[in-house]
Amino acid sequence: MSTTDLTIDEIVQEAVDNKVWALVGASTNPDKYGNVILHNMANAGYTIYPINPRATEIDGIKCYPNLSALPEKPTVVDFVLPAKLSLPFLEEAARLGIKTVWFQPGAESRENIARAKELGLQIIYNACCMVAKGRRHWR
């Protein structure tokens, strides 16, 4: 079965099963989803790389300015920033060979979804990773 033959549930489960993620739009503000998701995933045992060009760390977790600066290639890039800011990171993910992107609610746009499809990426949107976590076994 090729990745294009996967159902959305299979893509979500595959994303959840992969333990190395990048979080584009990670936030230093504890009230923002970019901070909540960061801590949620770190506490669940994931290697999570926060991407925030304006921060050097968030609560002791080193931040990176972009995906190319990461010490390893994540299997999933999770977007939690305004859609209008996502396109350069989306294209960078494709250039780096990252196959799955997850747009959190509010981070997606028609343009970004269309571009992700053009780039051949597996796309998850209209779904929150924390809700998916509650429905799936995040080991």
pLDDT, one tens digit per residue, over 67-107 is 999 999 999 999 999 989 999 999 999 999 999 998 888 87
The fourth-level CATH superfamily of domain 3-133 is NAD(P)-binding Rossmann-like Domain (3.40.50.720)
> Angle 58-87-138 (CA atoms, 0-180°, nearest 5)?
50
Percentage of the chain beyond pLDDT 70 is: 86
CA angle at residue 11 from 121 to 108, to 5 degrees? 55
Using the Cα atoms of residue 32, residue 38, residue 40 and residue 41 in order, give the sign of their dihedral. Answer: positive
Domain borders along the chain are 3-133
Q: Tens of pLDDT along 8-29?
A: 778 777 777 788 999 999 999 9
Given a contact cutoff of 8 angstroms between Cβ atoms, the answer to whether 79 and 34 are in contact is: no
Place of tokens 């597996």: 122
> What pTM was computed for the model?
0.86
> In Å, how far from its chain's centre is CA 102?
5
